Every structure is written in structure tokens, then in C-alpha cells.
Amino acid sequence: MNFDLADQPEFVQQAADYALHGWEIAREWLMSPAAWSQFGLLVAAFVIAWLSTRKLRPWLERVLTPEAGRTSALATIRRFLLIFVPLLLPLLAFAFTGVGEGLTRAIFGSGAVIAFGKRFFLLLAARVLVREIIKDGFLKVLGRLILLPVMALYTLGLLDAATDRLNELTVSLGNIEFTAMAVIRGLIAGSILFWLGRWSNDQTGAYIHKQEEMRPATRQIAAKAAEFAIFGLAFMLLMNIVGIPLTSLAVMGGAIGVGLGFGLQKIASNYISGIILLLEGQATVGDYVELDNGQTGTIVKTTARAMILETYDGRWIVVPNEDFITTRIINYSDQGSANRYEADFSVSYKTDINLVPAIVEAAVAQHPGVLDLPYPPDCELRGFGDSGVDFAVEFWVNGIDDGPNKYTSDVLFLIWNALKDNGIEIPYPHRVVELHQASGPAAP
């Protein structure tokens, strides 16, 4: 078949050359007895692999499936291996084909068809891997867009030609030049490295936060240090894979430094403040704090730039780290420190007020959340009001009197019941109205 493609674009001519080359190979295979023998071996290898899979797969699934609820290392390994059972058919076909390849080359001196079959079975294995085994969304997209096209080119024998073509194309970025292959390799390697970095960071952070013997601030510091180390290592590996020497980034680093000094002062200040907060442990996750503007909330997350506070009505407040350094912040929690509260009440003027402190202190001490240390409940006389004698009881608790805790409310209930049980009257306002009749001449 001869076509005049001289007037067509270069890529059309190259595509036509590849198509003609493929046609010549296919025609040669169809006319060759050795090729037909190799086709027969491929079919036989696939059938044997299929029959073997029908026998082996149920047995493997039964052996690799651990008992429900088992969490040992062996059970984890068995669950991991169970994921790859769907690869059994294409891998067995590949193995049986490899056994037949040596025989074919010994008899016919050729093995192009059977080599193509082996590559095709690897393509099937890659397809099963992407469709059935990989569950992570990012890796699945990466497999569909990169792994499967690469395996298809490898199966057709075009991978080397495509690689050579990409190595010839160059991309310039200032004084640095990349080949198109280096860019693609960097994108692939960067995607995989930073996915691995994210996964490693999640696993490392989860392990660190389980170490309850460490202070919360220390756990935060360790988690952040691990995060910087993991992604720093991933960045250096990526630079090495792409072929960019780290010394060539010196100019870029200097530019970034100037930018931080002039245009990113606040961001840099927040990052440095975050490091100081982690090192000093002044505020960390779980602390209940009051900001300088009166807003209150529990710290639920710390980032390199800001603290995330959650109020008891469900709102999130993003507070820059710098505010925790430069403004007045009241930390009510400090990871479990005791807090003092007081409850006000009054009794009637008819009461023997000398009995009130002992009654109220004994009642408040019954509350399971009220502490004996640093001080037990203390009832104090505060004044003589319009309607009764004013008292207040001070008590210490571990926690905040808000949200799920109702310490003051519970204490007032205890005071009410104790005073009622002892016949002590809790007054309410009384007003005396005097009516004076004006004197004047009597009516006729």
C-alpha cells in the first residue's frame, strides 16, 4: 500500500508510518507457521491460567481472610495480600506464557508473538490493578491517565519510540532547560512522592497523637517536625529525579527571602509565632481560651498560620498565631488545670446566718465535679441586701462552666435543696406602700 502523504503534516506522516509498520508485522504473523504456533501457546497459557484461577482463587480467599475482629500483625498482612487476589489470572497467564516462550524460541528461533502476548497480559494486570485494587481516588486517576496509557504503548512496542521523541523536545524556564520527558517524569514522580508524603504524614501524626504520655504541646511539635521532614525529603527527591541541582535554586530562594521580608511580613510573623507557641506550649488543642476582644472557644486545630477555635454554638474562629503572642489571651484550660467559680444566693433576715456556711459548704462538696484541692468549697458573707442577707459560695472544678458542663447550675440546685431541708427561707423582694390622706376642710 503506497500513499502520497508528502503534503500532510509531519505527525500524520509519522502516524501513517507506524500504521504501515504495524500492518507489515500483522501480515507477517498471519502468514507465519511459527506465529500461529505462538498464538496457540498464548491461548493455551490463558486457558490453563483461567482453569487454575478457578481452583486457586477460592482457596486463597479462604486462607487469606482472617477471623472477624482480629487486629494482629499477621491478620493485617493477610488482609493486605487478599487485596491482590484479582491479579491471579493475568499473572498466571504471564507466567505460563514465559514458560512457553523458551520452548518456542528453541524450536522456531523467534518469539515476537509470544513476547507481545506477555506484554498484553501485563496490560491486563495493570487494568485489574487500577479498576479493582486501587481504592484511593488520586491513585486511581493517576493509574487511568498515566499507567494504562504507558502500558498500552509498552504492549504495542511504541514506548521506546515515544520516550525518544519526548527526550528530544525541550522546555526552557529562564536559564534552566528541561526535556519534555523530564517534565512528565517530574509530574509523575511528584504526584507519587507527595501522595506518599501525605500518607506517611497521616500515619506518623496518628502514631504521635496516640502517645498519651507526651504533653499535648510536645505531640504537636513532633507532628509538625515530622511533617516538615517528610515533605522536605519528598521535595529533594523530586529535584533529584527531575535533574535540577539544588544550587540552581539559590537565586529563587533569595527572591523568596526578599518577598518574605517586604510583602509577606504578616505571614512570616504568623509562621514564627506558631513555632513559638508549639515550643512554649502556651496554647494547644483542647484549651478553652478567651480572646482580647471577648470571644471565647476551644482550640480544635492548630496550623502553621493560625489557631482554629470552636465556640459552644458551633462557630469556628480563625485566629492568627501572632495574636496569641502580641495580645492578651486568657487560657481557662491549660490542659486540665482547675478553675474557680462562685454562686450567689440570699437568705431571709430571720435566719441564723451563722449556720449557713456549714450547710452550704457540705451540700456543694457533694457534687462529684467539685474539688477539695486547691481549696474546698468556701461560703462567704457578701453583704446585707434590700430583701435578704447576701452570700456566695466559691468552688473549684476541672473544666469550663459552659457547653456540656453545668457546674454553677448544679451547685445552685444543691444550695436550694439544702436550704429548704434546713428550713431556711430564700427571700424575694418585698415592698411596703404607705398611703397618707391629705388633711383639709371637711366636706359640708
Average pLDDT over residues 150-159: 82
H helix and E strand count, the chain: 15, 10
Cα–Cα dist 19/49, whole Å:
32
Average pLDDT over residues 181-207: 76
Confidence at residue 218, expressed as pLDDT on a 0 to 100 scale:
66
Top mean pLDDT of 255-264, 301-310, 405-414 is at 405-414
15 pLDDT band, cuts 50/70/90, is low
Top mean pLDDT of 241-250, 267-276, 306-315, 347-356 is at 347-356
Top mean pLDDT of 25-34, 36-45, 435-444 is at 36-45
What is the distance between the terminal CA atoms of the chain, rounded to a whole angstrom? 144
Residue 174 has pLDDT above 70, yes or no: no
Confidence at residue 411, expressed as pLDDT on a 0 to 100 scale:
94
Residue 31 has pLDDT above 90, yes or no: no
The residues, ordered by sequence, that sit 6+ positions from 392 with a Cβ below 8 Å of its Cβ are: 342, 343, 344, 345, 379, 380, 382
Confidence at residue 188, expressed as pLDDT on a 0 to 100 scale:
77
Cα–Cα dist 219/223, whole Å:
6
Confidence at residue 284, expressed as pLDDT on a 0 to 100 scale:
76
Residue 93 has pLDDT above 80, yes or no: yes
Top mean pLDDT of 171-185, 276-290, 345-359 is at 345-359
352 pLDDT band, cuts 50/70/90, is very high
DSSP summary character for residue 388: S
Confidence at residue 285, expressed as pLDDT on a 0 to 100 scale:
78
Residue positions counted in the chain: 444
Confidence at residue 30, expressed as pLDDT on a 0 to 100 scale:
53
Query: Does the reported pTM lie above 0.85?
Result: no
φ/ψ of 296, rounded to 5, equals -125, 155
Q: Which residue has the higher pLDDT, 439 or 219?
A: 219
The answer as to CATH 2.30.30.60 being correct for domain 266-331 is yes
Cα 21–24–27 angle (5° rounding)?
150
Cα–Cα dist 429/443, whole Å:
40
Query: Which amino acid is located at 123 in the chain?
Result: L
The residue behind cell 499473572 is: 91
CATH topology of domain 339-421: Alpha-Beta Plaits (3.30.70)
Written as nine digits, the cell of 407 is: 457546674
Residue 333 has pLDDT above 90, yes or no: no
The residue behind cell 502520497 is: 4
Give the Cβ contact number of residue 7 at 10 Å: 7
Cα–Cα dist 96/50, whole Å:
11
Torsion of CA 338, 342, 343, 349, to 10 degrees: 140
- The proportion of the chain whose per-residue pLDDT surpasses 90, expressed as a percent, equals 14
Long-range CB pairs of 22-25 (<8 Å, 24+ gap) are 22/156, 25/112
Written as nine digits, the cell of 257 is: 527571602
Under DSSP, is residue 432 helix (H, G, I), strand (E, B) or coil?
A: coil
Confidence at residue 377, expressed as pLDDT on a 0 to 100 scale:
94
- The proportion of the chain whose per-residue pLDDT surpasses 70, expressed as a percent, equals 76
CB 242 within 8 A of CB 221: no
Cα–Cα dist 54/310, whole Å:
56
Top mean pLDDT of 114-123, 348-357, 434-443 is at 348-357
Average pLDDT over residues 366-373: 90
Confidence at residue 438, expressed as pLDDT on a 0 to 100 scale:
64
Cα–Cα dist 324/329, whole Å:
6
Confidence at residue 420, expressed as pLDDT on a 0 to 100 scale:
93
364 pLDDT band, cuts 50/70/90, is very high
Average pLDDT over residues 98-113: 67
Cα–Cα dist 95/208, whole Å:
43
Domain assignments of the chain as residue spans, ordered by start: 32-168, 170-244, 266-331, 339-421
Cα–Cα dist 172/136, whole Å:
34
Q: Where are the alpha helices (DSSP H) in 300-433?
A: 321-326, 356-364, 407-421
Q: Which residue has the higher pLDDT, 174 or 99?
A: 99
Q: Please state, rounded to an integer, the average pLDDT across all residues of the chain.
A: 78
Strands 170-173 and 176-179: what pairing? antiparallel
| Burial of 92: CB neighbours in 10 Å, binned 0-12, 13-18, 19+ | buried
Confidence at residue 354, expressed as pLDDT on a 0 to 100 scale:
93
Confidence at residue 390, expressed as pLDDT on a 0 to 100 scale:
94
Task: List pLDDT tens digits, range 400-435.
Answer: 777 677 889 999 999 999 999 999 998 887 777 777
Residue 108 has pLDDT above 70, yes or no: no
